[in-house]
Amino acid sequence: LYRRILRLHRALPAALRALGDRYVREEFRKHKAAQPAEAQRFLREWEATLIQQQIDEDKQNVREKTVYGAQLTEEKLNDFRDEQIGQLKELMDEATKPKSSITISKESEHK
C-alpha cells in the first residue's frame, strides 16, 4: 500500500508530490507500532483515498483544472483525535501556500 501510494504521487504536480510523499512517510512511520484495530482503520482509510481516480480523471480532462483530495464529512471529522485535527490543519496550510512558498527538500525527491 505504501509503495502504491508513492507510485500514485508520481502523477501529481511536483510541489504536491513532495508534500504528499513527506506526509505519507510520516504517517506510516507513526503508525508502525499502532494497535491492530487502529492499524486496520489506518490502512482502510488510505485504501479508500480517491487519488487514483482523480489522477485518471486529470489525464482525461487536460483542459480542466483538477482538484485533488476529497471533502471530509462531519462524521469523519468527529472521529478524529485533537492531534489528527492539528495534523490535518498543518497539511491544509502547507497545501494552500502560494506556489513560491512551497519548497521541495532534497529528502523529498525520489531517487
Domain ranges (residues) in the chain: 1-96
* pLDDT (0 to 100) of residue 95: 73
- DSSP code at position 71: P
Task: List the alpha helices (DSSP H) in 10-104.
Answer: 14-30, 36-47, 51-60, 74-79, 82-95
pLDDT in tens, 49-80: 756 666 666 666 665 666 666 677 888 878 87
* pLDDT (0 to 100) of residue 110: 47
CB contact set of 64 (below 8 Å; sequence gap of 6+): none
